[in-house]
Amino acid sequence: MKDKNILKYYAFRSLIKRISTPILVIYMLDIGLSLGQIATVAAVGSIMSIIFEVPSGMLADTFGHKATLIISCIGKVAVVLSYLGGTFAWILAARIGYSFFGALFSGTADALFFEYLQEQGRADEHKKLAGKAKGIAYQFGIISMLIAGAAYTFAFWLPFALEVVQFILAAVVIYSFAAPKKAVNVSEKEGFWYFLSHFSTSSRQIMKNRMLGWLVIVSALIQGVILATIEFRQVLYTDVGLIALYIGGIYALNRFVAGIAAPFTHVLTDKFSVSQAITGLGWMLILHLVIVSVTKSPLVIIFGMLLGAAARIVLNVATNDYANHLSTNGSRATLLSMNSLIQSLVAALMAGVFGYVMHVLGVSEGYMVSASILLIIVVLSIYSIPKKRALAKN
């Protein structure tokens, strides 16, 4: 018989995929925001993610992963409605809000799921089941991606209204999830000092285990560069003549490919070492950026984006699985948030660089500069791989 909690987790992961993603930049352009203002929104959002990331993980580890996820979903409902304000100030406020409530989700869901599996004696299945969860979520997201462009064409507010319904349903589903007994709220027992202890615990783990430190830093640097470029994908699509209706289909195709790739993460990581898997995926992401920067052909650009979608989801699942197995019970969300913190730092810096290059030289040139920076990161990471310590197979 299927584990109902696992099925609920699959449903929750599916429901938190945003419908408005394919049309958000187009919406901002339609209401009169300039590319400079859009770049500002992206950069400020990344900076706010930096500020909120680790404290949000500490809050989740202190007050409970399940409760934190419910709050995150409810907060995102308010954020989605804020986007309908229709001015730069409202959009900026919404992006800041999403940074906070998104940070509450970051790492928390994966930590909750891992601890549930661990309590059931199924921790070894985490990599496979987490990959399957993301795969199902991406496949489910295809529906929302296909709807987004058509809904926006029909009425600009419709994708946002549908997104509100999504997040409300997500809150209901995760509320019904049976949290593991070991993940219950212990803040009453140790109070504020327990809250602070999560950061020091995670920091010591990263410094003590060289491979864990390498994994957290390198994967975050790679994903940070890619996150910055994702903010501007819609600009690239419109630059080659794709309209909103088609862009929704492209996002759906991206999710379809990512959904297929995610469940096979365990196959890759079982055959290759941690360093080989992470750097290999880094090379794939470099190729993705190069492809989209050297052509104006929509079909070739779509192929490059599909390659990037597959590599990025596998990198994300593999990193979280490695980190969860190496982390100490009770501080997993904080450790994963530290990985996300580095991603946000890199994304904030790269959003500024990418936006400036794109504004001065062009969209394609922005992607080429990003590919060059990512190349430097991957080459340096190869030379910094720990030689004397390897990640234990689980």
Q: What DSSP string runs through 56-72?
A: HHHHHHHH-HHHHHHHH
Asked whether residue 361 is domain-assigned, the answer is yes
Asked whether residue 128 is domain-assigned, the answer is yes
pLDDT at 390 over 50: no
Q: Which long-range contacts (CB under 8 A, 24 or more apart) does 51-56 make?
A: 52/99, 52/100, 52/103, 53/103, 53/106, 53/337, 53/338, 53/340, 53/341, 53/344, 54/199, 54/334, 54/337, 54/338, 54/341, 56/100, 56/103, 56/104, 56/106, 56/108, 56/337
Q: Where residue 70 falls among pLDDT bands split at 50, 70, 90? A: very high
pLDDT at 303: 85
Asked whether residue 394 is domain-assigned, the answer is no
Q: How many other C-beta atoms lie within 10 A of the C-beta of residue 175?
A: 14
Residues 161-188 have pLDDT tens digits of 999 999 999 999 999 998 776 544 433 3
* Percent with pLDDT over 90 in the chain: 19
pLDDT at 197: 57
Q: How much is the average pLDDT of 329-347? A: 69
pLDDT at 189 over 60: no
> Which of 92-106, 225-239, 254-268 holds the top average pLDDT?
92-106
User: Domain of 75: which CATH number?
Assistant: 1.20.1250.20
User: Residue 391 carries which DSSP code?
Assistant: P
pLDDT at 186: 39
pLDDT at 393 over 50: no
Residues 84-143 have pLDDT tens digits of 998 999 999 999 999 889 888 877 888 888 888 888 888 888 878 888 888 888 777 777
Asked whether residue 189 is domain-assigned, the answer is no
Q: How much is the average pLDDT of 356-372? A: 81
Asked whether residue 392 is domain-assigned, the answer is no
Rounded alpha-carbon distances, angstroms, from residue 322 to 109, 152, 204, 260, 336: 15, 39, 17, 21, 10
Asked whether residue 35 is domain-assigned, the answer is yes
> Which residue, 276, 342, 322, is CA-closest to 127?
322
Q: Where residue 212 falls among pLDDT bands split at 50, 70, 90? A: confident
* Percent with pLDDT over 70 in the chain: 85
Strand, helix or coil for residue 308: helix
> Which of 5-9, 32-36, 217-221, 293-297 holds the top average pLDDT?
5-9
pLDDT at 192 over 70: no
How many independent structural domains does the chain possess? 1
Average pLDDT, the chain: 79
Asked whether residue 169 is domain-assigned, the answer is yes
Lowest mean pLDDT among 272-281, 353-362, 373-382: 353-362
Asked whether residue 389 is domain-assigned, the answer is no
Domain span at 208 = 4-176+198-383
